[in-house]
Structures are given as structure tokens and as C-alpha cells.
Amino acid sequence: MDPQGSTVQRFPLVARFRPACLPLSKRVRALVDLADTAVTETDQGVASSVYNQAALIASDLGLPDLAREMCHEHAAAYLHACPLSAMSAIRCLEPVVNLARLQIRGGYADVGRQRLLDLYAAVEAGRPARFEGVAVPADLTAADKDRREVVAWLWRVLLADGTRTLTTEGRWTEALAHIEAHRGVGKRMLDGRQVAVLASLAEGDTAHASALLVDTMPGETWEQTVTACLTVLSRRAAGQPADAQLADLATTYLDRQAEPGMTVFDIRLGLTVLDAVGPADLPAARRIVEDLHRRATEAEDGYAARESLANRLFIELATDRHEQDCRALVRACALGAAALPDHMQGALSTALRDADCVIRESLALSTPERPRQMRSRDGGYNARRGGRALC
């Protein structure tokens, strides 16, 4: 098995929610609507989602400096009000995590992973830390139980994101060591167990990989499909036939129902199945390509289209229309365009001012002794006069 091959680099394959990358105009419109919802419902969580999604849009467009600026503003909206409840502290740290992710996206995977490790260690120990000018205080949380909840969240982030920085480079043994250091190898086919299987295959230990697969708890349906994919890889690495497993694998994937927020996972799973089936079963492979095209275009997900276009077998088997549709979708989503039209930037700026207003007001309401202030749309502050503030 090639530890750096495109097929294995998709692992760990875990069904985590990821908002669709819609065409840019729709994406910005949805963000403006989300900001309106945050104001109407005075919802801190929705307001934080506005910031997170805006930073992701900037990053997807190839504007990392703009994304960093948004992350700094997002963190500042919370940090002035420490100590925080567990949920507010998690929302406060989301932009700090996103700063690390920007490093990873920018090609500095080891730097990004180390920042996640440092953040986890600082919060766990209750000591201050600084990341790209963002000062995380020792008294981030109001109580020890809140801090423990934040640490548990950071642990999950560290397992998923930290592991991915190593697996995408084919560093499977290091990835397994990272997971084991944080007690992340379980019995179900989640991040840790997938990495353990592939680390064994990368080292040529097909017997241990097979034992891990056999001893896996079934879990959800998608977990069983991932287990089947890894079983095919394991049998091939051991020089064993996998025809019986392949027939069931293609059918199981094609029967999988689409779910909101799962399109990228479905595409990556489908591409992995496509690579496993390969030219040996062209009718099944063509059905999978049809399915990949349908999922990407129906969801209008630019991420999904981009992933498909990067796959050699997809390009070989796709019709001209399939390929054209996917390329048009990537263009409409402006992925890597390195530019944001002025009117859209203005709409995002207004949405972020509203989100900042909602976050600060929610924190003021939770601590009555602190003066209540609201940010006006021109960026200044107005005293709150009672009733629901108009952001």
C-alpha cells in the first residue's frame, strides 16, 4: 500500500457535518440571513456561526489575511468578558482553532498542529497562552467544570484536526502515535481505529490490520461501509482476493441516502469506493461516477465538485457534461478566486458587525455588573435602553 496515495489520504473518513460550499452569491446571501436570525433571536451561537462561516468563505476564496482578521475580531468579542461559561468559552476558542486551521491550509501543517497541542495544554492546565496576538487568559472559564467541558471539546478537535495534518502527508505511524497519546483508539471505526488499520498496512503488517478490522464494533451504517473499504485495501495488500467484498461495497454505497451537511463525506467515501472498484468492474464504476456527479450538483457543493475533479478515475469515466457541470460549479463557488466583489464584502462586513453586537450583548446580559453596550451599525457603541436591542 502506498501510504501517500490519493486513496488512503482521504482517511480518516468520518461522517461529520460540513456546510455545503454553495455558489458564492448564495453563500453570502445565506450568511446575511443568518446574521439577521442572530439579531432577531439574540442568539450568541448563531452569531458565532456567522463569524466562523465568514472566515471560511474568505479562506475558500484564497484570502487568508481577511480570514485571520475575522478570527481576531471574533475572539475579541468574547475575550473581554472572561471568565466565561463553558459554551461561551468554546465559542471564544473556535476562532483560535480556526487560526491554526489557516496555518494547516496554508501548507504549515506541523505549525498548525503544534498550536492546537499548545492550546489544549494551556487550557487543560489553566494557564495563559498567546496565539498570533490573541491572548487566552488563565481565567478563561468561570468554574473548573466549565474548563473540563472546554478541554473535552479541544480533545475532539485535536484528535480530528491534528490527525489529519499527519495522514494527508502519509505519516501514518506518527498519526497513530498522536492518537494513542490522547487515548483516541476505540473499538468503533472512527478516526483512531482507521488510522491504526492504515498504520499497520503502511508498515506491511497485514495480519494486525486484519485483526483490527475483524475486532471492530459495527457502529452506524457508514462505519460499516468504511470498514468494508479498509477490508478491501487490507486484502489487496495481503495478496488476497477481494471480489466478493467489492460487489457488496458498490451496492452499499449507491444505496446510501443523501443527508444535509454530509455531501463532502459522501463524495470522499464514493471516490474511495470508486478507487477500490476501479476498472475491474466498469459498469459499477460508471454508476458510482453518475452518483458522485448527482450528489455534488444537487447539493450545489463546490467542495464536492472539486474533490471529484481531482480524481483520475472520475475524469476518465465521467461524460463531458459531468465534467463541465462540476467545473462550472467550482467556478460559481469562486474557490481560490483570490477576490471578493465589493458589494459582497460590504454585506459580509455588515453581517459581522451585527454578529459582534449580538455576542457582546449576550455576554453583558449574563453578567449584570458589567455596563451594557451595543455596537451600532457604524461601528460605534450605544448604550442599551431596554427591550431587545436593534443591532
Is residue 226 within 8 A of residue 216, CB to CB? The reply is no
Residues 363, 367, 369: CA angle, nearest 5 degrees: 130
In tens, the pLDDT along 139-174 reads: 999 999 999 999 999 999 999 999 999 999 999 999
Q: Which of 167, 105, 317 shows the shortest CA–CA distance to 308?
A: 317
Residue 382: what pLDDT?
Answer: 31
Q: What is the pLDDT of residue 278?
A: 86
Asked if 225 and 249 count as a contact pair (C-beta separation under 8 A), the reply is yes
* Segment among 50-59, 162-171, 298-307, 372-381 with least mean pLDDT: 372-381
Per-residue cell: 272:
474511495
Element (H, E) at 341: none
- Is 70 exceeded by the pLDDT of residue 53? yes
Residue 378's pLDDT band (cuts 50, 70, 90): very low
Task: Say if pTM beats, i.e. exceeds, 0.75.
Answer: yes
Average pLDDT value for the chain:
91
C-alpha cell at 31: 450568511
Contact 351, 34 (CB under 8 A): yes
pLDDT in tens, 290-322: 999 999 999 999 999 999 999 999 999 999 999
> Which pLDDT band holds residue 281 (cuts at 50, 70, 90)?
confident
Nearest residue to 88 (alpha-carbon basis) of 378, 363, 361? 363
pLDDT at 242: 87
User: 207-237 pLDDT, tens per residue?
Assistant: 999 999 999 999 999 999 999 999 999 999 9
pLDDT at residue 282, as a whole number: 86
Residue 391 pLDDT level (bands cut at 50, 70, 90): very low
Q: Does residue 182 have a pLDDT over 90?
A: no
Residue 351: pLDDT band with limits 50, 70, 90: very high
pLDDT at 375: 38
**Alpha-carbon distance 70 to 84, whole Å?**
21
Mean pLDDT of 251-273: 96
Whether the pLDDT of residue 81 is over 60: the answer is yes
Strand boundaries in the chain, DSSP class E: 129-131, 134-136, 373-375, 381-383
pLDDT beyond 70 at 285: yes
The reported pLDDT for the residue numbered 197 is 97
Q: Looking at residue 384, what is its pLDDT?
A: 29
CA distance linking residue 59 with residue 71, whole number of Å: 11
Q: What's the mean pLDDT in 346-375? A: 80
- Quick one: what percent of the chain has pLDDT higher than 90? 86
Q: Give bridge partners of residue 373 from the DSSP assignment.
A: 383
For the chain, the straight-line distance linking the first and the last C-alpha, in angstroms and rounded, comes to: 56
The CA distances from residue 199 to 79, 222, 230, 308, in Å, are: 40, 21, 12, 26
Q: Which of 21-35, 154-168, 373-387 has the lowest mean pLDDT?
A: 373-387
Task: Name which residue leads in pLDDT, 113 or 185.
Answer: 113
The residues with which 129 forms a beta bridge, in sequence order, are 136
Instruction: Name the residue among 293, 292, 334 with its Cα closest to residue 22.
Output: 334
Model confidence at 381: pLDDT above 60: no
CB 34 within 8 A of CB 355: no
Q: Which of 103-107, 240-244, 299-303, 369-373 has the lowest mean pLDDT?
A: 369-373
Between CA 169 and CA 164 the distance in angstroms is 9
